[in-house]
Amino acid sequence: MRPLKPILRFPFPLFACAGLCLLLAGCARKDDVTRSLPPQVYTDVSYGTDPLQKMDVYLPAGRTTTSTPLLVMFHGGAWISGDKSDFASYLDSIQRLLPAYAIANVNYRLASIGVNLFPTPERDADSAIQFLVRHVSAYHISQRFVYLGVSAGGQMALLQAYKYSTPRASAVISFFGPTDMKDLSLHSPDPEIRQFLPLLMSGTADQNPSLYLSTSPVHFVTASACPTLLLQGGQDPLVPPAEAFELQDTLQASGVAHQLVFYPDQGHGWTGTDLSDSFQKIVSFLHDYIP
């Protein structure tokens, strides 16, 4: 009687197949769980020890770590005022227009005489973003970060997008944000800005040129910069419209995808049909550049 042939050569592919099936089943269960996640809101989440270092996080239903982009928003107020609640009346519209997006609405330390001077706002913005990077798995969101800022927040959003590489920004949106701090200090139509900006910057542009340079987004544009959407009013009484055009020219020269939406009759903010148009421009821009 011939001896039975050993069968030890069979178990490995059988076990591998079984293991693969279990792995796929586990992945399927994980996908089912994330697809069924309900919407969630976390308010006043601390990303630092200061009472102002807080954010609100809005998570959509069905979010996943591969498919859910994050919109990080920075309010305006000339770096000395403002609050994340300034976005309150717009959040419903943003969530309706961008239902697949998670949103982080960020507060940061505000400057006053001798307190929280530059580059404090920039550091807070980076701290908030790094907090979010550390929590993408807990929030079930991806690392496709989009930054949006208004006025001073626009400067902060642009600076984070161009100057920092972790994470690499997927896109940035600025509503009339300053792009060249030296130009702002010299040519803002508002004499108060020309007066108090040197106080926030610990000197004039001649006295502290390195800080003016390091906080000016236009100086950090490279060919690898993320797609950029600029929205600017032609009658802006605070930020010279020329700054938006300067950034546009720099982006063009560097071959960076960008769009400047110019409202010739608007000032430093707008409502009505032009604001509706701005929101539609944002939706179209993100549709084009965020997969």
Question: Hey, what amino acid is at 213?
Answer: L
Give yes or no for residue 132 having a pLDDT over 50. yes
Strands of the chain, DSSP E: 40-46, 54-59, 70-74, 102-106, 145-150, 171-175, 228-233, 258-263
Give yes or no for residue 259 having a pLDDT over 90. yes
pLDDT given for residue 33 in this prediction? 53
How far apart CA 26 and CA 254 sit, in angstroms, is 45
Tokens of 201: 């910057």
Question: Which residue, among 38, 72, 34, 40, has the nearest Cα to 55 in the 3D structure?
Answer: 72
pLDDT digits (tens, 9 = 90+) for 117-127: 999 999 999 99
pLDDT digits (tens, 9 = 90+) for 100-111: 999 999 999 999
Domains and CATH numbers, the chain: 38-289 (3.40.50.1820)
Give yes or no for residue 14 having a pLDDT over 60. no
Tokens of 213: 């340079």
How far apart CA 215 and CA 96 sit, in angstroms, is 33
pLDDT digits (tens, 9 = 90+) for 192-242: 999 999 999 999 999 999 999 999 999 999 999 999 999 999 999 999 999
pLDDT given for residue 36 in this prediction? 84
Contacts of 68 by beta carbon, 8 Å cutoff, 6+ apart: 59, 60, 100, 101, 102, 140, 141, 142
| CA of residue 288 relative to chain centroid, distance | 17
Map tokens 């939406």 to a residue: 261
Total-model pTM:
0.88
